[in-house]
Amino acid sequence: MSATTESVLLRLDDISLSFKGVKAITSISFAVKTGEICALIGPNGAGKSSLLNVINGVYQAQSGSFSYAGQTRRRMRPHQAAERGIARTFQNIALFKGMSVLDNVLTGRNLKRRSSWVEQMLRLGRAPREDDEQRRHAEKVIEFLRIHPWRHVLVGKLPYGLQKRVELARALAAEPKLLLLDEPMAGMNAEEKGEMSQFIRDINREFGTTVVLIEHDIGVVMGLCDHVVVLDYGRKIGDGTPEQVRANPEVIAAYLGTRRTRTERH
Partner 1 sequence: MLYREAGQLSTTYAPQRRTFRLRQGRVGLWLLLGFAFIAVPLLGNDYWFSAILVPLLVLSLAGLGLNLLTGYAGQLSLGSAAFMAVGAFAAYNLQLRVPGLPLLVSFALGGIIAALVAVLFGLPSLRIKGFYLLVATLAAQFVVEWVLTRFSWFTNDNASGVITSPPLLIAGLDFSSPRGRYLLTLAVVVALFWLGKNLVRSELGRNWMAVRDMDTAAAVIGIRLFKAKLLAFAISGFYLGVAGSLWAFAYLGTVEPHGFDLSRSFQVLFIIIIGGLGSVLGNFLGAAFIVLFPILLANVFGLLPTGLIDSGQLENIQKMLFGALIIAFLIKEPEGLARLWQRFRQRARVWPLRY
Partner 2 sequence: MEFFFEVLIGGLLAGVMYSLVAIGFVLIYKASGVFNFAQGAMVLFAALTFVSLLERGFPFAWAFIATLASMVVLALLVEKMVLRPLVNRPPIILFMATLGLSYMIEGLAQFLWGAQVHGLELGIADEPLEIRGMLLSQFDLFAAGTAATLVIALSLLFNKTRVGLSLRAVADDPLASLAVGIRLPRIWALVWAVAGFVGLVAGLLWGARLGVQFSLSLVVLKALPVLIIGGFSSIGGAIVGGLIIGAAEKLAEIYLGPIIGSGIENWVPYVLALLFLLVRPAGLFGERAIERV
Residues of this chain that bind partner 2 (CB under 8 A) = 53, 58, 90, 92, 94
List phi, psi (to 5°) of 239.
-160, 115
Nearer to partner 1, 128 or 187 (CB): 128
Q: Report CA 72 to chain centroid distance, whole Å.
A: 20
Nearer to partner 1, 30 or 90 (CB): 90
* Contacted by 225, from partner 2, partner 1, none: CB < 5 to 8 Å by type: none
Nearer to partner 2, 22 or 122 (CB): 22
- Selected binder of partner 1 within 97, 140, 148, 205 (CB under 8 A): 97
* Contacted by 1, from partner 1, partner 2, none: CB < 5 to 8 Å by type: none
Per CB under 8 A, 117 contacts partner 1: yes
Residue 164 corresponds to which amino acid? K
Give the separation between CA 104 and CA 102, rounded to whole angstroms: 5
Closest Cα to residue 108, out of 35, 174, 185, 53? 174
CA angle at 86 for the pair 17 and 79, rounded to the nearest 5° = 75
- Selected binder of partner 1 within 7, 45, 69, 111 (CB under 8 A): 111
Give the separation between CA 239 and CA 231, rounded to whole angstroms: 9
* Span interacting with partner 1, options 67-75, 112-120, 189-197, 225-233, rule CB under 8 A: 112-120
Please count the residues of this chain forming the interface with partner 1, following the rule CB under 8 A.
39
> Residue 250: how many CA atoms within 13 Å on its side-chain side?
13
Buried-exposed string 8-43: b where 16+ CB fall within 10 A, e elsewhere: bbbbbbebbbeeeeeebbbebebbbbbbbbbbbbbe
Q: Could you count the other beta carbons within 10 Å of the beta carbon of residue 63? A: 13
- Selected binder of partner 1 within 110, 241, 258, 261 (CB under 8 A): 110
Query: Per-residue string for binding with partner 1, 64-93, x by CB under 8 A?
Result: --------------xx-xxx---xx-x---
Residues at the site binding partner 1, with contacts judged by CB under 8 A: 56-58, 78-79, 81-83, 87-88, 90, 94-99, 103, 106-108, 110-111, 113, 115, 117, 120-123, 127-128, 131-132, 135-136, 170-171, 174
